[in-house]
Amino acid sequence: MDPNGGQKVKRRNPLVHENGDFALSSLGDVDPWTAWAYKPRTISLLLIGACFLIWASGALDPEISTGGDVVTSVKRGVWAMIAVFLAYCLLQAPSTILIRPHPALWRLVHGMAVIYLVSLTFLLFQKRDDARQFMKFLHPDLGVELPERSYGADCRIYTPENPTSRFKNLYDTFFDEFVLAHIFGWWGKAILIRNQPLLWVLSVGFEFLEFTFRHMLPNFNECWWDSIILDILTCNWFGIWAGMRTVRYFDGKTYEWIGISRQPNIMGKVKRTLGQFTPAQWDKDEWHPLLGPWRFLQVLTLCIVFLTVELNTFFLKFCLWIPPRNPVIIYRLILWWLIAIPTIREYNSYLQDRTPFKKVGAFCWLSVAICIIELLICIKFGHGLFCNHTEAPHFLKF
């Protein structure tokens, strides 16, 4: 299949696997209207980037470039370094399984994942207080200790003495920012995993993790009706239901793409252009955790990494003083979702591969590495931070 042309899409991925990298040589001819987007033009973009660096750095006028303070110069230098690396990944990094809307997008995500990994590694080697103050470079509101909200302080549903509302506890919990996070989060996870039993294992498993670590994080101290009714049976269920409806919609479509130039009218060209942002094909991932002991361990590993990444979110914001509504939390979640899209595809392809010698894809490797570094940061910065860390976990008590 070509990314824009008129060949019928097969159910199997058309990319050729060579030496552990996914080559795009099998894509064939592209549509004439979009052929310009698939021509490399690496030298031209290199020269354009060099001109931009000359302008931004003041290389031709060093007197002006040295007029600012050291902190500003360092910030600009770091951002320029990141931009150069992302530009390299955009043009030269190996392509992934995914080709929509353009292979370059996923090469860019690969570069962002590498930058996030090395940034976490740098943060791991800092002291806790220094790391907290370093977060100010990402957002000026960070670096300040924040009170943690406990959701289980008052579990009464009906509070007649409250002057604002007799259902104040229920109102505050239902209109908390985590409600939308639960719904959209599980919608996205359903699109990634595409297996309803496995999704429910992850949903219930994370609630058990919250119950286990509630003695360490006040944020996990929830009421029973919040954890069971609002989280599992309402928000998570609706997100999983909506996500699986989306999965069934794409799974039931006939994937026969016709190039933009061959569309008969303007509306057809517009629809085909928007269709470029939808999957080129839809693979029904088959996990089969009960296929055998080894497959069970492989799927269990996926669940452990998945739950650890979610758990890291709460411990990182607690250790680094990041409030829930800060954009840094949102950026991390968006980045993780972009990383998870090719990661799940690569890992499922790895499980289905029957060749004797195989290796996981680059995104799988990066995801596990990032998860480990995040966990190490939580462990290192959490020493002496949790007042009840010596108490037996509630899950063990249960």
Cα separation, 320 vs 382, whole angstroms: 10
pLDDT digits (tens, 9 = 90+) for 60-97: 777 766 556 788 888 888 999 999 999 999 998 888 88
Q: Higher-confidence residue: 341 or 2? A: 341
Place of tokens 């119950």: 211
- The pLDDT score that the predictor gives to residue 25 is 44
Q: Is the pLDDT of residue 145 over 90?
A: no
Q: Higher-confidence residue: 57 or 19? A: 57
Name which of 10-19, 176-185, 333-342, 352-361 the model is least confident about.
Answer: 10-19
Q: Nearest to residue 123, comparing CAs of 376, 311, 385?
A: 376
Cα angle 58, 62, 68; round to 5: 80
Please name every residue paired with 17 in a beta bridge, in sequence order, or none if there are none.
22
Q: Is the pLDDT of residue 380 over 90?
A: yes
- The pLDDT score that the predictor gives to residue 2 is 46
Helices (H), the chain: 42-57, 62-65, 70-92, 103-124, 128-134, 168-174, 177-193, 196-212, 224, 237-251, 266-275, 293-319, 327-352, 362-381, 394-397
User: How distant is the alpha carbon of residue 92 from its chain centre?
Assistant: 22
Cα separation, 213 vs 221, whole angstroms: 9
- The pLDDT score that the predictor gives to residue 197 is 93
Share of the chain above pLDDT 90, in %: 38
Q: Is the pLDDT of residue 52 over 80?
A: yes
Share of the chain above pLDDT 70, in %: 79
- The pLDDT score that the predictor gives to residue 27 is 44
Cα separation, 130 vs 152, whole angstroms: 32
- Residue 194 DSSP symbol: -
- The pLDDT score that the predictor gives to residue 36 is 67
pLDDT digits (tens, 9 = 90+) for 277-291: 677 677 777 888 998
Q: pLDDT band for 18, please (50, 70, 90 cuts).
A: very low
Q: pLDDT band for 396, please (50, 70, 90 cuts).
A: low
Highest-pLDDT range among 2-11, 55-64, 72-81, 146-155: 72-81
Q: pLDDT band for 338, please (50, 70, 90 cuts).
A: very high
Cα separation, 76 vs 261, whole angstroms: 43
Q: Are 232 and 272 in contact (CB under 8 A)?
A: no
- The pLDDT score that the predictor gives to residue 202 is 95
The residue-averaged pLDDT of 223-236 equals 87
Q: State whether residue 285 is helix, strand or coil.
A: coil
- The pLDDT score that the predictor gives to residue 29 is 58
Q: Is the pLDDT of residue 334 over 90?
A: yes
- The pLDDT score that the predictor gives to residue 387 is 59
Q: pLDDT band for 186, please (50, 70, 90 cuts).
A: very high
Q: Higher-confidence residue: 19 or 327? A: 327
Q: pLDDT band for 343, please (50, 70, 90 cuts).
A: very high
Highest-pLDDT range among 47-61, 118-132, 145-159, 255-269: 118-132
Q: Is the pLDDT of residue 121 over 60?
A: yes
The residue-averaged pLDDT of 226-241 equals 90
Q: Is the pLDDT of residue 3 over 60?
A: no
Q: pLDDT band for 12, please (50, 70, 90 cuts).
A: very low
Cα separation, 373 vs 357, whole angstroms: 28
Look over the chain and give the mean of its residue pLDDT values, rounded to a whole number.
81
